[in-house]
Structure 1
Amino acid sequence: MIKEVVVVEGRDDVSAVKRAVEAEVIAVGGFGINSKVIEKIKEAQKRKGVIIFTDPDFAGEKIRKIITKRVSGVKHARISQKDGIKDGDIGVENAAPEVILKALLKAKCELQEKREVFTIEDMMFFKLIADEKARARRDFVGRELGIGYANGNQFLSRLNNFDISKEELTKAVDKANKEI
């Protein structure tokens, strides 16, 4: 059972999470996040902790930002677009139970203070940008680290904000280089 309350976008996501793991789940109902839902999430955060688990698309990221702005200290679980796509539809509800479980177990908490362990030079060194396989490498590494896929700038920000160590990144990149 997952200790924290999992926050998802809709009913289908609730069903998918419950198929994968025993957990308390709150559905925000898409962009219609009202003050009642935010209060519910704040209370859940106070009592048990919260994991935000939205779809790997623009709308999912926007919802994630809305919640994060209003509720501090939440954890973030992510799946890649590849793991959440079915018949052209992208969403948590399309992910396999083992993918959902892995994402929830790898949930990361954003740090409050600004941290700059990684630089643009590191991104180039690890071939996460400015390389023909950079996109595939970021996708693979994002799944390994539980921070999801992002463009180069967002990926750098996630590496720094999710308390990823150089050792963790090196291991994930080495694994990606063997498989890509």
Structure 2
Amino acid sequence: MINRIKISQVIVVEGRDDTANLKRYFDVETYETRGSAINDQDIERIQRLHDLHGVIVFTDPDFNGERIRRLIMTKIPTVQHAFLKRDEAAPKSKTKGCSLGIEHASFEDLKTALAGVTSHFESSSDFDVTKNDLMRLGLLLGSDSRQRREYLGEQLRIGYSNGKQLLKRLELFGVTLAEVEEAMLKYSV
């Protein structure tokens, strides 16, 4: 019998395959959104679970996963977040039609993502990143800005943000200028 790691919060995932993979390694309860079909009832249930146990949003690193994350974050800004890198969520076999998903992640990748859980940054007065900093670091208005933002999102485990949303996402997750600069030091073209 495998000694599974206990997670006290409820993890919001997209589907039953995500739940099955998490339960292989963790003693955890999940709430499944059934893909991108999240509605007001789901938000109400997630709010109740968050009030009772705490919630970690752990959606796929793709368009629909980010959409679900944004919807939940907008309505319940104090939830926590876990992020997988795109390559960690890729199917191990190149089966046609398979998309990115939590269900494809290894134990080590899931453990790393859950260890890096982030929560809402309470004191935005400590936030020290500016739009000028983002331009200086090539994250805005550059020919490779999108690739740089993708890289930064993976390194900080906060997911991808477009140019308009990056500053807001960095503030939401309490990322400091020093953390952004350190992550971008490792970026190579």
Q: State the TM-score, normalized to the length of structure 2.
A: 0.78
Aligned to 1:25, which of 24, 30, 33?
30
Pairing 1:102–2:112 present: yes
Match of 1:137 in 2: 148
Match of 1:65 in 2: 70
Q: Answer whether contact 1:20 1:98 (CA < 8 A) is retained.
A: no
Q: What amino acid does structure 2 have at the position aligned with 1:100?
A: L
Q: What amino acid does structure 2 have at the position aligned with 1:106?
A: G
1:9 offset after TM fit, Å?
A: 0.6
Structure 2 regions of 5+ residues with no counterpart? 1-5
1:122 offset after TM fit, Å?
A: 1.0
Match of 2:182 in 1: 171
Structure 1 regions of 5+ residues with no counterpart? none
Which of the two has greater helix per residue?
1
Match of 1:160 in 2: 171
Aligned to 2:12, which of 7, 11, 15?
7
Match of 1:151 in 2: 162
Identity %: 35
Give the distance between the partners of 2:119 and 2:164, measured in 1 at CA.
19
1:65 offset after TM fit, Å?
A: 2.5
Give the distance between the partners of 1:64 and 1:169, measured in 2 at CA.
22
Give the distance between the partners of 2:139 and 2:185, measured in 1 at CA.
12
Match of 1:124 in 2: 135
Q: Answer whether contact 1:56 1:81 (CA < 8 A) is retained.
A: yes
C-alpha root-mean-square deviation of aligned residues, in Å? 2.6
Give the distance between the partners of 1:118 and 1:149, measured in 2 at CA.
17
Q: State the TM-score, normalized to the length of structure 1.
A: 0.81
1:133 offset after TM fit, Å?
A: 4.6
Give the distance between the partners of 1:152 and 1:81, measured in 2 at CA.
19
Secondary structure of 1:42's partner?
Answer: helix
